[in-house]
Chains A and B, each alone.
Chain A
Amino acid sequence: MAVKFFVNGMPAEFDGPEEVPLLWVVREHLNLTGSKFGCGIGLCGACTMHVDGTAMRTCIMPVMMAQGRHVTTIEGLSHNGEHPVQKAWTELDVPQCGYCQSGMIMAAASLLSRHPDPSDADIDREMTNLCRCATYVRIRAAIHRAAKLR
Chain B
Amino acid sequence: MSPVSRRCVLTGAALTAASLIVPIGGRAAESNYEITDWIAIAPSGEVTLGLSQPEVGQGSYTALPQILADELDADWQRVKVRFVTGKAAYKIAFRQEPPAQKEGASMSTTALFGRLRIAGAAARDVLIRAAAQQWNVDVAQCRSENGFIINARGERLSYGDLAAAAAKLPLRSDPPLKDKRRFHLIGKPLPRLDTVGKCDGSAVFGIDVMVPGMLNAAIKTARAFTGQVTAIKNEAEILKMPGVHAVVKLAALAIANEDAGVQHPQLPNLPRHNAVCVVADRFWQANRALDALDVEFDGGVAADLSTVKIEAMLEAGLDAEQGVTALERGEPRQILKERAAAVIERRFLLPHIAHAPLEPVNATASYKDGAVEVWGPVQSVSACQEAVAHAVGCAADAVEVNVTFLGGSFGRKIVPDYVLQAVQASKAVGRPVKLIRSREEDMQHDVYRPNAGGRFRAVLDDRGYPLAVQARVAGQSLFGAVRKSWLDHTPEGACDESMVDGIYNQSYRLPHFLVETVDTPLPIPVYFMRSVGSTAAVFFWESFITELAQRANIDQYAYRRNLLANDPLALRVLDAAAQASGWGTTTDTFRGIAYNCYIGRGGRFKTYVAEVVELARIADGLAVTRVFCAVDPGLAVNPNTLRAQIEGGIGFALTTALKSRITFANGGAEQSNFFDYPLLGIDEMPEIVPIVLPSDRPPQGFGEVVLAPVAPALAQALLHATGRRLDVMPFPEDAFRSRA
Residue numbers of A with Cβ under 8 A of B are 16-17, 20-21, 24-25, 27-29, 31-41, 43-44, 46, 73-75, 77, 80-81, 86, 89-90, 93-102, 105, 123-125, 127-128, 130-140
A-B contact count (CB 8 A): 185
A134 touches B647 (CB 8 A): yes
The closest CB in chain A to the CB of B688 belongs to A137
Q: Which of A20, A39, A75, A124 contacts B201 (CB 8 A)?
A: A75
Q: Which residues of A contact B683 (CB under 8 A)?
A: 124-125
Q: Which of A32, A99, A123 contacts B408 (CB 8 A)?
A: A99
User: In B196-213, which residues have CB < 8 Å from any A CB?
Assistant: 196-205, 207-208, 210
Q: Which residues of B contact A43 (CB under 8 A)?
A: 673-675
A138 touches B647 (CB 8 A): yes
Q: Which residues of A contact B201 (CB under 8 A)?
A: 32-35, 73-75, 102
- Contact pattern, B 103-134, Cβ under 8 Å of A = 1, otherwise 0: 00000000000000000000000000000000
Given contacts A102-B199, A131-B358, A132-B358, 10 further A-B contacts (CB under 8 A): A16-B242, A44-B674, A75-B200, A86-B199, A89-B195, A99-B358, A99-B407, A131-B679, A132-B679, A134-B650
Check if B29 is an interface residue, CB within 8 A of chain A: no
- C-alpha gap A3/B685 in the complex (Å): 41
B202 touches A34 (CB 8 A): yes
Q: A24-B283, A44-B358, A89-B199 are in contact. Are A97 and B57 (CB under 8 A)?
A: yes
B207 touches A39 (CB 8 A): no
Q: Which residues of A contact B216 (CB under 8 A)?
A: 28
B200 touches A46 (CB 8 A): no
Check if B360 is an interface residue, CB within 8 A of chain A: yes
Check if B192 is an interface residue, CB within 8 A of chain A: yes
The closest CB in chain A to the CB of B356 belongs to A132
Distance to closest chain A CB from B288 (angstroms) = 8
Q: A24-B283, A132-B408, A136-B682 are in contact. Are A98 and B360 (CB under 8 A)?
A: no
B406 touches A97 (CB 8 A): yes
Residue numbers of B with Cβ under 8 A of A are 55-59, 191-192, 194-205, 207-208, 210, 216, 242, 282-284, 288, 356-360, 405-410, 436, 438-439, 640-641, 644, 647-652, 654-655, 673-675, 679-683, 685, 687-688
B673 touches A133 (CB 8 A): no
B439 touches A41 (CB 8 A): yes
Q: Which of A21, A28, A130, A138 contacts B674 (CB 8 A)?
A: A130
Distance to closest chain A CB from B409 (angstroms) = 8
Q: A24-B284, A43-B674 are in contact. Are A37 and B648 (CB under 8 A)?
A: no
Q: Which residues of B contact A31 (CB under 8 A)?
A: 210
In this complex, the member of B194, B202, B648 whose beta carbon has the largest number of chain A beta carbons within 10 angstroms is B648
- C-alpha gap A125/B683 in the complex (Å): 7
Q: Which residues of A contact B409 (CB under 8 A)?
A: 97
Q: Which residues of A contact B687 (CB under 8 A)?
A: 137
